[in-house]
């Protein structure tokens, strides 16, 4: 996460107040996140599974769809004249998964063949593509994408993050089926299965098997969710993204955990299981995560990302599939959507 320039003058004030907050006021911040305002930003059509999202420096939200191989730009202003603009439709694949930014307005997207209701994942069908968003505006025409790498040895690629906080060229990608993390250097296009760990593994027999799912790097540490094992784990990293040792559990009681994000204090906002949840790693309460909201607007929540404008810096955007059960019953009543939740916590700054 990094801040849009108009916000910069405010940055020291907010960061100082958040970081120096006493445990009591931190608790107040956490308590305030328990009944936040929840605003529907954009509804996709019924039967559209929004799988992940990223936020551009200009505040526009990039949403990846799993049910069609497309990325849309969603305007955070719910009354925009162009609420959602198609960015790209990927060829020869059925859907999109993780998305992350490596350098300003250069985003990478995981694509692959994953059927929610039928065959599950097609091993080896996954690729990572580059989208250069510079100059792309709401209401514009779709842009080209460049394929960076195929992953013929992958099982089920899912969440993706940048290895280095600033200026790096390496992506880390969760393989939910293999229980592993792949690295991809976008300059050399070198691909390596860089981490495997028992805490990343899917539960044997689960169908579809979904082990390690969301991934984020903070302070040379990889944080990850494991949906089957219902946990958030972490592992310290070497400079090349390999693990310095075995992973350990951060949250051991995270049913349905999908993707997540860390705030500036290192606390976790976790999507999944029809809720947005909060785990105060700073206070270390040890218990299950608190429910931030279980509004029907976040039914089928899949991922969470902080805003980057002065107006949404202490809000998160949540992507949803509208409720996972619909994809098995094939009776759709609630669309996949982008929702804003005013959590009163800020994302980690990555000044460039
Ligand atoms: C999206 O649909 C929900 C009902 O499913 C509705 O409450 C909400 O207002 C809609 N959002 C927008 C932006 O139209
Ligand atoms: C993935 O799906 C696309 C679209 O249906 C198809 O063209 C392609 O052959 C599939 N790839 C694999 C590896 O099965
Ligand atoms: C990554 O770095 C570690 C520690 O320096 C080293 O042991 C390992 O071989 C490296 N792995 C790769 C794939 O380069
Ligand atoms: C949210 O949680 C409350 C309290 O547990 C419960 O009464 C309500 O039914 C839940 N709402 C949804 C949409 O699940």
Per-residue pLDDT band at 23 (split at 50, 70, 90) = very low
Q: What is the CATH number of the domain that holds 155?
A: 2.120.10.30
Instruction: Give a yes or no: residue 111 inside a domain.
Output: yes
pLDDT at 341: 97
Instruction: Give a yes or no: residue 287 inside a domain.
Output: yes
Give the domain extent around 53: 5-346
Distance from C-alpha of 37 to C-alpha of 50, rounded to nearest angstrom: 21
pLDDT at 116: 85
Give Cα separations from 90 to 110, 130, 318 (angstroms): 10, 11, 23
Assigned token pair, 332: 């759709």
Per-residue pLDDT band at 18 (split at 50, 70, 90) = low
**Strand partners of residue 235:** 222
Q: Pick the range with the lowest mean pLDDT from 10-14, 61-65, 71-75, 104-108.
A: 10-14
User: How many angstroms is it from 344 CA to the middle of ligand 4?
Assistant: 22
pLDDT at 204: 79
Pairing state between β 84-89 and 95-103: unpaired
Measured by CA distance, the residue closest to atom 10 of ligand 4 is: 294
User: How many angstroms is it from 275 CA to the middle of ligand 4?
Assistant: 10
Instruction: Give a yes or no: residue 352 inside a domain.
Output: no
Measured by CA distance, the residue closest to atom 11 of ligand 2 is: 125
Rounded to an integer, the average pLDDT of 194-222 is: 94
Per-residue pLDDT band at 25 (split at 50, 70, 90) = very low
Per-residue pLDDT band at 216 (split at 50, 70, 90) = very high
Instruction: Give a yes or no: residue 220 inside a domain.
Output: yes
Check whether 6 has a pLDDT greater than 50: no
Cα 103 versus chain centre, distance: 17
Distance from C-alpha of 122 to C-alpha of 96, rounded to nearest angstrom: 13
Instruction: Give a yes or no: residue 186 inside a domain.
Output: yes
Rounded to an integer, the average pLDDT of 269-275 is: 96
Rounded to an integer, the average pLDDT of 309-317 is: 95
Check whether 31 has a pLDDT greater than 60: no
Q: Which residues 6+ apart lie within 8 Å of 135 measured at CB?
A: none
- If you ran DSSP here, which 8-state letter would residue 198 be given? G
Measured by CA distance, the residue closest to atom 7 of ligand 3 is: 242
Instruction: Give a yes or no: residue 33 inside a domain.
Output: yes
pLDDT digits (tens, 9 = 90+) for 123-136: 999 999 999 999 99
Instruction: Give a yes or no: residue 351 inside a domain.
Output: no
Check whether 17 has a pLDDT greater than 90: no
Measured by CA distance, the residue closest to atom 4 of ligand 4 is: 294
Check whether 35 has a pLDDT greater than 70: yes
Instruction: Give a yes or no: residue 61 inside a domain.
Output: yes
Name the more confident of 336 and 345.
336
User: How many angstroms is it from 280 CA to the middle of ligand 4?
Assistant: 22
Q: Which residues 6+ apart lie within 8 Å of 298 measured at CB?
A: 38, 271, 274, 275, 276, 318, 320, 339, 341
Distance from C-alpha of 249 to C-alpha of 241, rounded to nearest angstrom: 19
Tally of domains within the chain: 1
Supply the pTM of this predicted model: 0.92
Point out the ligand nearest to the CA of residue 335.
Answer: 1
């Amino acid at each position: 996460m990094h801040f849009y320039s108009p916000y910069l003058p405010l940055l020291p004030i907010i960061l100082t107040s958040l970081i120096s907050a006493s445990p009591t006021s931190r608790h107040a911040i956490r308590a305030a996140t328990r009944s936040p305002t929840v605003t529907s930003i954009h509804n996709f059509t019924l039967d559209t599974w929004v799988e992940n999202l990223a936020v551009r420096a200009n505040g526009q939200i990039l949403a990846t769809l799993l049910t069609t191989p497309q990325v849309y730009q969603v305007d955070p202003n719910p009354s925009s004249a162009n609420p959602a603009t198609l960015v790209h439709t990927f060829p020869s694949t059925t859907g999109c998964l993780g998305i992350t930014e490596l350098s300003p307005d250069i985003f990478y997207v995981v694509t692959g063949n994953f059927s929610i209701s039928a065959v599950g994942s097609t091993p080896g069908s996954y690729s990572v593509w580059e989208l250069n968003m510079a100059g792309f505006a709401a209401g514009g025409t779709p842009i080209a994408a460049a394929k960076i790498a195929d992953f013929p040895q992958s099982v089920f690629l899912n969440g993706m993050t940048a290895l280095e906080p600033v200026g790096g060229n390496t992506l880390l990608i969760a393989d939910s089926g293999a229980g592993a993390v792949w690295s991809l250097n976008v300059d050399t296009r070198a691909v390596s299965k860089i981490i495997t760990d028992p805490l990343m593994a899917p539960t044997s027999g689960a169908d579809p098997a979904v082990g390690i799912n969301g991934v984020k790097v903070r302070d040379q540490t990889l944080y990850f969710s494991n949906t089957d094992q219902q946990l958030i784990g972490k592992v310290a990293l070497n400079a090349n993204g390999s693990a310095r040792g075995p992973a350990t559990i951060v949250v051991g009681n995270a049913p349905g955990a999908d993707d997540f994000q860390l705030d500036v204090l290192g606390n976790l906002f976790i999507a999944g299981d029809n809720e947005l949840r909060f785990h105060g790693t700073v206070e270390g309460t040890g218990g299950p995560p608190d429910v931030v909201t279980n509004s029907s607007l976040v039914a089928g929540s899949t991922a969470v990302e902080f805003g980057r404008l002065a107006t949404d810096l202490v809000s998160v955007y949540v992507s949803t599939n509208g409720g996972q059960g619909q994809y098995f019953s094939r009776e759709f009543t609630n669309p996949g959507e982008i929702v804003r939740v005013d959590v009163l916590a800020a994302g980690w700054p990555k000044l460039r």
